[in-house]
Chain A
Amino acid sequence: TQLLEQSPQFLSIQEGENLTVYCNSSSVFSSLQWYRQEPGEGPVLLVTVVTGGEVKKLKRLTFQFGDARKDSSLHITAAQPGDTGLYLCAGVRGDYKLSFGAGTTVTVRA
């Protein structure tokens, strides 16, 4: 049973379009992280959100942490082929253990 549910599971869009990935849980997390993973590589940390209601921007990527610290979203504006990859959210409970969602596979077509 996954503590974190990600949706959608797959997303295929045209270059220039916007997309949003959701990460939901019934559990409260001290913080939440987003990773991107490309084939044959390990996940790479994109951002950590800590405070309920927090919004962080990383160029064309906007991350939001829900007020109750149970959910998060990742929004990509004007997606590019280089944004293609598996996006994973991970909830932090305690100091060191991450609970990962199953991931959203994003494909951006040129």
Chain B
Amino acid sequence: GAGVSQSPSNKVTEKGKDVELRCDPISGHTALYWYRQSLGQGLEFLIYFQGNSAPDKSGLPSDRFSAERTGGSVSTLTIQRTQQEDSAVYLCASSLGGQYRRNTIYFGEGSWLTVV
């Protein structure tokens, strides 16, 4: 499709295991974002990519979280040694450029992570 694609849509993992979440942005979008949405809370900014580089990683909650983007396209968010508090919906978004006033941001449907 033409939208932001995320996989898996649902993931149940055991505490302590590593997980990888994938995001395929809209073709041609140079800016890519990861957000986390927990029940009853708004979206929490995690990281922003412009091309392959991440000028802002300030939202990553701990060093167990990392993300990379290759070829200016697909991005992977990795969570190591998962904890129950990591359970949330992880949303990826992309836009043509990094300026919200000029470029609409499009969200994927999210990856619902449950750590048991």
Contacts and interface: CB of A to CB of B under 8 A. Distances in A.
A50 interface: yes
Contacts of B106: 42, 45
Contacts of A40: 109
B100 A48 contact: yes
Interface residues of A, number: 26
A42 B98 contact: no
A42 B100 contact: no
B34 interface: no
B101 A31 contact: yes
A33 B107 contact: no
A4 B91 contact: no
A100 B48 contact: no
Given A43-B43, A43-B107, A50 B101 contact: yes
A41 B42 contact: no
B3 to A, nearest CB: 9
A99 interface: yes
Interface in A1-58: 2, 4, 6, 30-31, 33, 40-45, 48, 50
Interface in B8-55: 31, 33, 35, 40-45, 48
Interface string B90-116: 010100001111001111111000000
Contacts of B4: 42
B97 to A, nearest CB: 9
Contacts of A101: 42
Interface string A83-108: 00000101010011111111100000
Contacts of B48: 96-97
B43 A96 contact: no
Closest 8 CB pairs of A and B: A42-B107, A100-B42, A100-B43, A96-B98, A102-B42, A95-B99, A92-B100, A101-B42
Interface of A: 2, 4, 6, 30-31, 33, 40-45, 48, 50, 88, 90, 92, 95-103
27 contacts: A2-B41, A2-B42, A31-B100, A31-B101, A42-B4, A42-B91, A42-B107, A42-B109, A44-B107, A45-B105, A50-B101, A88-B42, A90-B42, A90-B43, A95-B98, A96-B48, A97-B45, A97-B56, A98-B35, A98-B43, A98-B100, A98-B105, A99-B45, A100-B42, A100-B43, A102-B41, A103-B42
